[in-house]
A = this chain, B = another copy of it.
Amino acid sequence: MYLQDPQLSIPKRPNPIDPREVSMPPRRVTLADVAKKAGLSSTAASMILNGRPDTRLSKAAHDKVHAAAAELGYRPNLAARGLRTDKTQTIGFISDLVATTRFASGLIRGALQASEEAGNVMLVIETGGDPRREQKAIDAVLDRQVDGIIFATMRARELFVPAFPPATKVVMLNATNPHHLQTVLPDEFAGGRAAARYLLDHGFSSDIALIGHNAETEQGYFRSSTVEQRIHGIRSTMEAAGHTFMAELSAWDWEPQHGYTLTRSLLSGRTRPRALLCMNDRLAFGAYQALNEAGLRVPDDVSIIGFDNDELAEYLRPGLTTVALPHEQMGRRAVDLLIGDSDPVQEFISMPLIERASVKTASTPHP
């Protein structure tokens, strides 16, 4: 909607000059200015403006201060206030590559929204996963007196967190660390289960191929802590139903080209799969390409389900059914946890299955 939203376009002529744009005082108005204008001390002004309950200042004083503040357009200097109160309404958001790649931008989007709603602002730093840059990032935000830090990773993983003062509030977002228990993660186990169950429910059983992971070659080795859960969810569901995958193809990278290659090699086998369970949507994209080239149709010849709810899923024809990574909600939750004062918890956010058109009901159940 916002992509080409008319509101984002503007007429060719420059706007008339907004009066607000021309007259602003050269110096920032300070609390002292307000107090002076109100004919009171800055203490009185401070107490009144901050609505201290125990204050015994006259109604008249209140009115004068508020009037002066409004008239002068007073805004407190948060840096100065923070010096005193140790609260800067600022959150440090340190990630490997969340903001600058599209793979997990939802994390930052959600966090940004929740921050704004809570009157906070985020200092964003990306480290590329480099420990030295991570340490520098922590110093940088701490030097600026942030109220807390969110550590986020693009692919959920255990994150080594360099030194910082023990009192600092910390939330791990899409990441874990033994010393920091406040954590927000996707519920990958349930997500994996949902994907497998969806295929099973649509009449597939032992004619499903798994693209992106292989029990043999990748045993005990997982690219991320949550992918392990995803796989467990998938496999336990298959096992509970008494089925196994007809094939499992593994690739280290989960890019379209690998999905393409893997699917091609799969199609060269003697039995054709009826459904593909792809470890992510980009692999699924590659699968579409290979299927297409082989003259096979989705979902009539082969059904496909993916993970992530990548933007690609919507671009594909037909639309790709996929289990979404609830990044936005995770980001929001991380900020809530950081700002709130709950006990440390590990939160698992559920992964909704987004139904599109890439899976059909298998016409005849297989033996």
Contact = CB atoms under 8 A, between A and B. Distances in A.
B166 A24 contact: yes
Interface string A74-109: 011111101100001010000011011111011011
Contact of A99 (B7, B124, B125): B124
Interface stretch (A41-49, A251-259, A343-351): A251-259
Interface in A197-227: 220, 222-225
Contacts of A24: 163-166
Interface in A1-24: 2-5, 7-10, 12, 14-15, 17-18, 20-21, 24
Given A108-B99, A165-B24, A317 B2 contact: no
Contacts of A269: none
Interface stretch (A139-147, A183-191, A298-306, A334-342): A139-147
Nearest to A176: B14
Nearest to A3: B253
Nearest to A161: B21
Interface stretch (A57-65, A150-158, A241-249, A354-362): A150-158
Contact of A8 (B88, B96, B101, B178): B96
A205 B103 CA distance: 40
A366 interface: no
Given A26-B166, A83-B80, A165-B28, A222 B97 contact: no
A123 B126 contact: no
B126 A99 contact: no
Nearest to A292: B292
**Chain A interface category by residue count:** 35 or more
A155 B79 CA distance: 33
A103 B3 CA distance: 9
A122 interface: yes
Nearest to A317: B289
B163 A21 contact: yes
Contact of A167 (B26, B97, B144, B163): B26
A9 B102 contact: no
B144 A78 contact: yes
Interface of A: 2-5, 7-10, 12, 14-15, 17-18, 20-21, 24-26, 28, 75-80, 82-83, 88, 90, 96-97, 99-103, 105-106, 108-109, 112, 116, 121-126, 128-129, 133, 139-145, 153-155, 157-158, 160-167, 178-179, 220, 222-225, 228, 252-257, 260, 282, 285, 289, 292, 311-312, 315, 317
